[in-house]
Amino acid sequence: MVGLAPQTVPGAEAVAAAARRAGSRIVLATDRPKPTGITFADAVVPSGGRLVASVRSLQADGAVVLLLSGNRRALGAADCGIGVHREGEPPAWGAHLLVGADLESAGLIVDAVGVAARVDRESALLSAGGSAIGAVAALQAPPNQATARGAAAGTTAGTLAFALGNWRARQLLARPMDPPVTTTPWYLMPVPRVLERLRTGPDGLAPEEAASRTAQGPRRGEPTGTTLPAAFIEELANPLTPVLAAGAALAAAVGSRTDAALVAAITGVSALVGGFQRVRTERALSELFARSAIGARVRRGGTERLVTAGDLVPGDIVVLGPEDVVPADCRVLEAEGLEVDESSLTGESLPVHKSPAPVVGAQLTQRRSMLYEGTTVSAGRAEAVVVATGPATEVGRSLATARQAAPVTGVEARLTALTRSSVPIAVGSAAAVAGAGLLHGLPLTENLASAVNLAVASVPEGLPFLVNAAQLAAARRLADLGALVRNPRTIEALGRADVLCFDKTGTLTEGNLQLAAVSDGGGPQPADRLDAPRKAVLAAALRATPPARQAEPMAHQTDRAVSVGARRAGVGVRRGAPRWRRTDSLPFEPSRAYHATAGRTSHGALLSVKGAPEGVLERVARRRAPGTGRATPLDAEDIKKLADAAEELAGAGRRVLAVAERPMREGEDLTDDTVRDLDFLGFIALADPVRTSAGPATERLREAGVQTVMLTGDHPATADAIAATVMDVPEPKVSTGPELDEMDDARLDELLPTVDVIARCSPHHKVRIVQAYQRLGRVVAMTGDGANDAPAIRLADVGIALGRRGTPAATAAADLVVTDDRLETIVSALMEGRAMWASVRAALAILIGGNFGEVTFSVAISALTGTTPLSARQIMLVNLLTDLAPALAIAVREPTGHTGERLLKEGPSRSLGVALTKEMLLRGVITAAGAGLAWTGARVTGRGRRASTVALAALVGTQLAQTLTTGGLDRHVLIAGLGSAAVLAGIIQTPGVSQFFDCTPLGPFAWAITLGSITVATLFGPILAPMLHLDRAPLEEEAVEEPAATDAAKTAAPR
């Protein structure tokens, strides 16, 4: 019999990953109705003779099609055709580019498409900005220099675009390429054939051959370190930077070079602080990777030595023992009682038996002759040959999938929205000032500088720095709690999370077997409340357990669980067997399925057996009540009932062992043939215990409105039992991966808002689940520790890895690494995210609300006089000393002002919705009122320069008074507020410095006008607040609205 199955071409997954990074849809062209093994395609279209029609159909729908094919006509019809052909075949001359069979180059081309599109957008913005700046510079320049200055601005913009494009291209070429992955079926081949293909032998590779293969093969080490310059440039890539840069250029074009320098300095400092934090975090992650580096015992040239996993090459012979971590993908050569914990790869919590025999296995769980990187040897010993390392391993392929472009969320989206709001305000204020000047008879060239300066000053240049500082402060506090933040922007996204997907094994559970219950065949009792008969069953199981040695751990997890459970229950081997001592044993082997021990007691020889129910029950003849000598015969119906009882115990998510004994005759040897005619005693149930912190953690998350979903590869009954314990839900709704496979996207979208558990869940299912939640508009956090979690962790809005147990793949894909593996830390991280939203709301109200008040005041006075009352330097001074410093203190303060429950109810919809708009409006009106009163009073009693200085002081004072009211007695807020006031007073009263900022020293009467205006405006706030419904705390107001919002969400979810 011959089995045939299609295989993906080496490199196809790398091309798909490149398409994801480029933000493109992946459409698979095939004639198979249900293609299997290809999980990265978004859609399927007909191939062969209908491929041209398929391309035309996509183009008719508005798509720009890049086709990778060998079909000449279809390549000619595509917008961009990349031709592939095998060696010896004619090239596809209809293509625009020919790569032959080199899919690495095809992946690079696809990557370049996304980069080129980004360069196009950035160059268009630079071109438009350069033209606008050139026009302003030409208007301001003398007639004989107008053309030169306009051309200089355009030339500068073009040069910047060229340099930016060159830098993007260098970034692309510096990116490590995904090597093509071959899918050789090593599990199908006999051992001699495997060694022949790998050109190795039982003694391993010669050291020289291993060194040459190291230089040739792909390797994956710890994460590459980020340099400070690179991090600085990445931090500059936020939506507000182009606006600020254009503003600085406009200020320079109209002659305000000092103002332009101030804007550039603030933007640079913000990016430098964020870049420094990123570099420091990456270094901490590198240390984490170094501590978790996997070692391996390798045989080279007949000599065994210890090396790191990164030094292994295909063909190396590795020697593995109990509790060793498999360092690479390997084919088993020899095995002795080998069991492997593959939970980090497949999600199955129970060990899997392995052997050298070739197998036919389409799924990873069926490949009993293979060992995979990151899994752990639970029992036995083995010799294996390395077949894949680095990106070519199963884990490496998962990591390549994890590099898909994550959705744009978090601070980028918020900055984009704020930028879109600030640009129209800036342009509108400039137009209003210029129009007011024209109405008052002033030439456009004379008023243009004031208009441009107001537009530049109205942009909140401290916004990136403010958000970065708030995130960095939260990241430092989380580090003290044991959570390492890879990117500070993760905190902001974590505060928006409303779905948390847990991986069960090692996350909700502890990842090790423990004694759960003991049954005498009638009913189980918990391990901590055993009666005398069941303690006798446990004693018999302990006698059938190999002895523990101090020099090395017990080989089998089941034996360790029985030994530890008996010790905790106060049960010894001599209970029911006086003066028992071991004389002989038959060790456990998968083919034997039991462990038998012969011992001698004061009553004679005793045979004790413990093993799989199906292996032991076929050897029993009687049933004996533990602790008594009475035994009753068993017939086939009785044995079936015992088997059903074992199945019922196993259905609760437990591993079940049967226990039996019988007296031995004098001189009887212990062999497989003598393990018969046994007396059945009972069952031992083992379970992977749930973490004690899991229940309270999930309860708090649900109280915060976060849906928790358990994803596991275990049996549905196991998952159901654990979910009922952890989630405090009487009847958790359980679905399975195969059921998801039968659902289309619409049915999946209808199921997910109500599901609690998804069992038999593969890595592909996890990715689909995360994408479905995001399609529903939910913000997803994914927690896990295994390599199988890496793709979903990376694609989630917030990926969380448990660092102590986490595999390198999961840690590399995560945004947040919980180093202590405590789920309470995840709840603390959520609280920090929600608290950051509350702090940012108050800080943004200070920053943007203050700017809104300044613009309102300036436009109003310009309408009356034709000129702006404040110069650009004065407005910049307000932003630096009265907006930025107090707002920064508000943003970085610790979340001590709210209870934990109220913090968990924070979030963007509550913190940055209507509440923020009302707070900014209130601050703007109060600020404008205070400045307007002060300017009017000072202008009536003095000159214009004095009125401008008084208005500046009133702007500062009014905003600081509101800030101190918000911050209360927080030490940092008091220092920032009072310090800013003192600095501004010093600037105003110091000759020389005062003139630089277009001010004049003030006398007592002017200060009295200032303080009176501040007091009146501040007292005006509580009167205005009820009109805007701000008299209630935002959290309380939105808590009232929450039920209606929840009902609306439930109604909208199925659609």
**Run of H or E including 585:** strand 581-586
Q: Check pLDDT > 80 for residue 463.
A: no
Residues linked to residue 297 through DSSP beta bridges, in sequence order: 306, 319
* Euclidean distance between CA atoms 799 and 85, whole angstroms: 39
Gyration radius of the chain's alpha carbons: 36
Per-position DSSP letters for 187-209, written without gaps between them:
GGS-HHHHHHHTT--TT---HHH
* 465-479, 628-642, 703-717: range with highest mean pLDDT: 628-642
Query: Which residues are within 8 A (CB) of 747 and not within 5 positions of it... i.e. 6 or more apart?
Result: none
- CA 201 from chain centre, in angstroms, equals 42
* Euclidean distance between CA atoms 413 and 749, whole angstroms: 24
- CA 895 from chain centre, in angstroms, equals 24
* Euclidean distance between CA atoms 463 and 246, whole angstroms: 16
Please give the C-alpha separations between residue 590 and each of 40, 593, 595, 683, 873, in angstroms, as whole numbers.
37, 5, 10, 19, 81
Torsion angles phi and psi, residue 816, rounded to 5: -135, 125
Per-residue pLDDT tens for 110-122? 888 888 988 998 8
Cβ-contact 459, 260 below 8 angstroms: no
Length of the chain: 1055
Structure tokens at 924: 């703007």
Buried b (16+ CB within 10 A) or exposed e, 42-53: eebbebeeebbe
DSSP H helices in 8-87? 12-21, 51-60, 72-77
Cβ-contact 299, 204 below 8 angstroms: yes
* 185-189, 695-699, 1035-1039: range with highest mean pLDDT: 185-189
Angle between helices 257-291 and 240-253 (to 10 degrees): 150
Confidence of residue 1051 (pLDDT cuts 50, 70, 90): very low
Return the SS3 of 1016: helix
What mean pLDDT value characterizes the chain? 79
Confidence of residue 555 (pLDDT cuts 50, 70, 90): low
Per-residue pLDDT tens for 821-830? 777 788 788 8
Told to judge if 528 belongs to the known catalytic residues of this protein, a careful annotator would answer: no
Q: Comparing 669 with 496, which gets the higher pLDDT?
A: 669
DSSP H helices in 82-145? 103-140
Within 13 Å and on the Cβ side, how many CA atoms surround 430?
A: 24
For the chain, give the percent of residues with pLDDT over 70. Answer: 77
- Regarding beta strands 757-759 and 707-711, do their DSSP bridges make them parallel or antiparallel, or are they unpaired? parallel
Per-residue pLDDT tens for 897-937? 444 455 555 555 555 556 677 778 888 888 888 999 999 99
Burial status of residue 6 (CB atoms within 10 A of its CB: 0-12, 13-18, 19 or more): exposed
Give me the pLDDT at residue 7, please. Answer: 64
User: Which of 993, 984, 951, 924 is closest to 865 using CA atoms?
Assistant: 951
Would you tell me how many other CB atoms lie within 10 Å of the CB of residue 1029?
Answer: 11
Structure tokens at 1053: 């979810």
Per-position DSSP letters for 775-800, written without gaps between them:
HTT--EEEEE-SGGGHHHHHHSSEEE
* Euclidean distance between CA atoms 1012 and 1017, whole angstroms: 9
Query: Which residues are within 8 A (CB) of 701 and not within 5 positions of it... i.e. 6 or more apart?
Result: 500, 708, 827, 830
* Euclidean distance between CA atoms 138 and 637, whole angstroms: 101
Q: Does the pTM exceed 0.75?
A: no
Would you tell me how many other CB atoms lie within 10 Å of the CB of residue 168?
Answer: 16
Burial status of residue 184 (CB atoms within 10 A of its CB: 0-12, 13-18, 19 or more): middle
Set out the domains of the chain in order of their start, with CATH numbers: 1-179 (3.40.50), 313-388 (2.70.150.10), 500-510+691-826 (3.40.50.1000), 516-684 (3.40.1110.10), 829-1039 (1.20.1110.10)
Per-residue pLDDT tens for 382-414? 999 999 887 778 777 665 544 444 444 445 555
* Euclidean distance between CA atoms 797 and 774, whole angstroms: 8
User: Which of 6, 35, 39, 34 is closest to 20 using CA atoms?
Assistant: 39
Residues linked to residue 656 through DSSP beta bridges, in sequence order: 685
Q: Check pLDDT > 90 for residue 199.
A: yes
Q: Check pLDDT > 80 for residue 1040.
A: no
Buried b (16+ CB within 10 A) or exposed e, 311-321: bbbbbbbbbbb
Q: Span 59-70, mean pLDDT?
A: 91
Candidate list 259, 311, 316, 503, residue with the active-site label: 503
Structure tokens at 931: 């400045």
Per-position DSSP letters for 632-675, written without gaps between them:
EE--HHHHHHHHHHHHHHHHTT-EEEEEEEEE--TT----GGGS
Question: What one-letter code names the amino acid at 61?
Answer: D
